[in-house]
Structure 1
Amino acid sequence: MKRLSIIAALALSASLSGCALLPAASPARVDFVVINDTPYDDTDRAMLAQAIPAVKAQTPPFILHVGDTQSGGEVCGPPDAAFARLLSDLKPIPVFYTPGDNEWTDCDRKDDPATGHKFSELQRLEGLRQRFFATPPVSDGKWHYAQQADMPENARFDYGRFVVVTLNVVGTNNGRDLVMGDDLSVAASAADARDTRNIIWLKAAFTHARKRGAAAVIVATQADMFNQKAEARFVPCHDVVADDKRLCDGFLPVRVALIRESRAFGKPVFLIHGDTSPFTLTQGDLPGDSPSDKAGNLWRLNAAGDAGSDKDKSWGVRDVTTVSIDLSRAQPLTSRGLLTGEVPGRATPGPDAD
């Protein structure tokens, strides 16, 4: 409890720093790019080779990378070098990254070549933190960039009249299913702590937004927080398991907090994620702790990226996503695939995210 109190104090301290009110003339529009769920194969790598110069030609102020930097079937570790090159190739555009399940919670699908045993998900997350979150993507104070103590992958920054926050919320039931390389009691404690810290960080972001006079909040996660079996929805999780047979809702605490904070904020909130193949844009559809517990001011973009095919059909949109948010419009968020021109709603649902 003392440890969590310290974390809460640090999060509150971060939220109060740089809280001068935004000038009224600050832009109420932002255009940026989202990358996720790629590359899984050579076709994805070819797409990225085309997309990188196209992204740089657009000169967006920033890029959100919402995770899954490799296929869930790959051995973890070697693909990190390719992701590091991607970040380098995109410079000088800052990339704000939140990790996906494929690069940490799903690593224990394979044996760690260094040990001959299943990967430890928790050690893998620590490795990602050391490699990709030790150095902030921006240094200019105008961004008001902050990271959460003990969870540096949770970040926040300001752009114009927007506050943007990332949360480490991932697929595989938010790291509670198919835990095969860690002690289950240790993994359960870690999952509980992530839930607590994610909620602290989310609340601090909305507090910061109110103090700054922000006009909107953008929340970025990897997970599609409603990609579950119907019978698991709204059932709290109390542990982690080594299979996926136990039915519970690993996203419930964060989802409830997001709905409540969005309603209390009262201004537009935009949730951007990947994880599953439908390229969709919806408003007011994400439930908290019941089917009716929703926020009408919350838009949800499931970005393009996760795509594939089998002998019967193809699914998803293999692309990166351009996003434009203009708060002067009745429908403030528009998006499309940068290379394909596809718009949300045309993707064919595929199998569960890999």
Structure 2
Amino acid sequence: MIRFVMSCLALATLSACASLPHGEAPARAEFVVIGDTPYNASDEAMLATAIPKIKAIKPPFVLHVGDTQGGGEVCGAPDDRFAKLVEALKPIPVIYSPGDNEWTDCDRKDVPGTTTKFSELARLDILRSRFFAAPAVTDPAFDYIQQAGQPENARFEYGGMVWTTLNMVGTNNGRDSVMGDDLATAAKAAEARELANVGWLNEAFAVAAAKKARAVVIIMQADMVTEVDPKAFGHPCFDAVAGKREVPCDGFYPIRDMLPALAANFGKPVFLIHGDTGPFRAFKSWAPGQVYELNAAGDVWYRDSGEMCAVRDVTHVWIDVDAAEPLRAVGLTTGEVPGTTQPVHDDCK
């Protein structure tokens, strides 16, 4: 069943319940999002400050939108660091959607002690066996389930909403710069992931409609708009992948194309939470209708001038479907408000 954050009886007055449409229970959630960190010692220091603050809030869960390491780090050892973060946040469950830095970008480096590039597909298998072999949430009230064959895709229910993760990552959703795997094998795997994601997202909206959920929340790593080559935007990939270059297609097209229709048919708010790019923003999405988007804090880098792009922080988030502003967010350690104090240069993305 759907677990509601607050019941009408918990509200200050019964009149507040009466004001809700069709007598529906309120749909609210307060939680924390981590992503695109740590890349360096400064990020690690921020997390050391953030962890006790997160635990003081006592959110029902923490969402991690991937990139648990820097894109230039050798993969493998940083997995231990992420495992320690998950352990440090206990008993708060961490619901994790992997990022490109910890699997699709691993083949930027050789396997230590060899001259062989990392296999992206082997890295994904390692992440699956280490971080997705058991459910992230065991409380039966969440009705937490994982997709067969793609266990990093999960779905759960909280606060009158259906929440779903999708393995959608940068590097053109795993289709560019495939240097450690056979290209035909990588193409087949990319197609399988894409089909699984399409099916999982369709299922999330079907479940939300059947259970009369008041919103759908989608969690992924990729920024499906900013990260696409404008020349390739809207061109399906089919079975295309590329070696030491970019393939001229849009690896995010199927999900980005289907989302507006799913949201319109659902007819209620949809929230898209991701990382992947620097701008810390909460806004009405590119998709029409009641679609709201959060590009969470993280992914800090510096312009040649020394000016910092993005916000070094984790994100404290509130969703309240009945509020005039249904999506609110703030940097937990900095107090940064999305889109207000960071640089907005074209190259800060």
Length-normalised TM-score, structure 1? 0.89
Looking at structure 1, the residues matched to 140 and 86 of structure 2 have their Cα atoms a distance apart, in angstroms, of: 21
- What SS is found at the alignment partner of 1:301? strand
Instruction: Tell me whether 1:314 sits opposite 2:314 in the alignment.
Output: no
The Cα offsets for residues 180-208 of structure 1, whole Å up to 9 and x where unpaired, read as: 00000110111111110001001111111
Structure-1 residue corresponding to 2:210:
211
Distance verdict in 2 for CA 1:126–1:141, change over 3 Å: same
Which runs of no fewer than 5 residues in structure 1 stay unpaired?
1-17, 286-293
Q: Distance in 2 between matches of 1:262 and 1:302?
A: 19
1:237 shift after superposition:
1.2
CA–CA distance in structure 2, aligned partners of residues 251 and 245 of structure 1 = 14
The residue number in structure 2 matching 1:299 is: 292
Give the match for residue 71 of structure 1: 70
Which one-letter code corresponds to 1:295 in the other structure? P
Q: Which residue of 2 aligns with 1:233?
A: 233
* 1:19–1:211 contact (8 Å) kept in structure 2: no
Q: Which residue of 2 aligns with 1:42?
A: 41
Deviations 1:62-82 (A, max 9, x none): 110000000000000000000
After TM superposition, give the deviation of residue 59 of structure 1 in Å: 0.7
**Residues 1:225 and 1:118: Cα distance change in structure 2 (over 3 Å):** same
2:175 matches 1:176: yes
2:288 counterpart letter in structure 1: A
Deviations 1:319-349 (A, max 9, x none): 0001101112122001010011111113325
Mapped pair 1:255 → 2:256: yes
Q: Structure 1 residue 86: deviation in Å?
A: 0.1
One-letter code aligned to 2:276: D
Partner SS for 1:231: coil
1:342 is aligned to 2:343: no
2-side partners of 1:129 and 1:349: how far apart? 36
Q: CA separation in 2, counterparts of 1:229 and 1:121?
A: 22
Cα drift, residue 230 of structure 1 = 1.6
Q: Residues 105 and 208 from structure 1, CA distance in 2 versus in 1: closer, same or farther, beyond 3 angstroms?
A: same
What secondary structure is seen at the aligned counterpart in 1 of 2:111?
coil
Q: Within 5 Å, which residues of 2 pair with 1:1-354?
A: 26-113=25-112, 115-227=114-226, 228-238=228-238, 239-285=240-286, 294-312=287-305, 313-346=307-340, 347-349=342-344
Aligned partners of 2:120, 2:96: CA distance in 1, in Å? 18
1:98, CA displacement in angstroms? 0.3
TM-aligned CA distance change 1:298 to 1:244, over 3 Å: farther
Match of 1:289 in 2: none
The one-character-per-residue Cα deviations of 1:297-331 (angstroms, maximum 9, x if unpaired) are 11111011111224402110000001101112122
Taking the aligned partners of 1:341 and 1:258, their CA distance within structure 2 comes to 31
| Amino acid of the structure 2 residue aligned with 1:157 | F
Query: CA distance change for structure 1 residues 284 and 72 in 2, over 3 Å: closer, same or farther?
Result: closer
Distance 2:261 2:190 in 1: 21
- Aligned equivalents of 1:253, 1:328: Cα separation in 2: 30
8 Å contact 1:177–1:241 — kept in the other structure? yes
What's the RMSD between the two structures over aligned residues? 2.0
Q: 2:274 and 2:113 mapped to 1: Cα distance?
A: 32
Cross-structure match for 1:11: none
> What amino acid maps onto 2:147 in structure 1?
Q
CA contact (8 A) 1:277 1:349 kept: no
CA 1:330–1:110 in 2, change beyond 3 Å: closer, same or farther? same
1:21·1:211 contact (CA, 8 Å) conserved in 2? no
Structure 2: distance between partners of 1:126 and 1:114? 21
Cα pair 2:175 2:247 within 8 Å, conserved: no
| 1:71 counterpart SS class | coil
Shift of 1:247: 2.2
Question: 2: distance between equivalents of 1:85 and 1:20?
Answer: 29
Q: Percent same amino acid at aligned positions?
A: 55
Contact 1:222–1:275 (CA<8 Å) still a contact in 2?
A: yes
8 Å contact from structure 1 (residues 324, 333) kept in 2: yes
Q: Give the Å deviation of 1:259.
A: 1.9
Mapped partners of 1:302, 1:20: distance in 2: 26
Distance in 1 of aligned mates of 2:111 and 2:331: 36
Q: Give, in whole Å, the separation in 2 of the partners of 1:244 and 1:165.
A: 31
Is the 2:3–2:159 Cα contact (8 Å) retained in structure 1? no
Give the counterpart letter for 2:283 in structure 1. T
| More deviation, 339-348/240-249 | 240-249
Q: Distance in 2 between matches of 1:310 and 1:348?
A: 10
- 1:34-79 per-position Cα deviation (integer Å, ceiling 9, x unaligned): 0000000000000000000011111111110000000000000000
| Conserved? CA contact 2:241–2:247, under 8 Å | no
Distance 1:168 1:186, change over 3 A: same
Q: CA deviation at 1:21?
A: 12
